Amino acid sequence: MTMPDERARALRFAGELLREMLARDDVPADLKQQARATLRHYPTKEQLKWMIDDVSRAEGTNQCWLAAEQPAAP
């Protein structure tokens, strides 16, 4: 079963991936267009935080799933 924090993290990562696709020179124009179209309706970080806060209040937790991931140890 997928937990709310896992869904929120996946949404954050997907948004980061779409923005990275737009910034790269080696991504084909058609994929950039699809990324741009998707991001037009994609929740902002603030909107994601509001959604997460709502879920957290309902579940009685207080964690921020939008925080940056800790880099993996080498």
Cβ atoms within 10 A of the Cβ of 65, count?
A: 21
Is 73 inside any structural domain? no
Is 35 inside any structural domain? yes
Question: What pTM was estimated for this model as a whole?
Answer: 0.66
Q: Residue 44 region, left (φ>0) first, then alpha (ψ -120 to 50), else beta?
A: beta
Is 67 inside any structural domain? no
- How many domains does the chain contain in total? 1
What is the spatial distance between Cα 11 and Cα 44, in angstroms, rounded to a whole number? 10
Is 28 inside any structural domain? yes
Query: What's the token pair of residue 74?
Result: 């080498």
Question: Looking at residues 21-50, what average pLDDT do you find?
Answer: 93
Is 68 inside any structural domain? no
The answer on pLDDT for 14 being more than 90 is yes
Is 13 inside any structural domain? yes
List pLDDT tens digits, range 47-70: 888 877 777 677 665 555 555 555
DSSP H helical segments within 1-74, as ranges? Answer: 4-23, 29-39, 45-59
Structural domain of 13: 4-59
Is 16 inside any structural domain? yes
Is 33 inside any structural domain? yes
Question: Looking at residues 27-53, what average pLDDT do you find?
Answer: 90
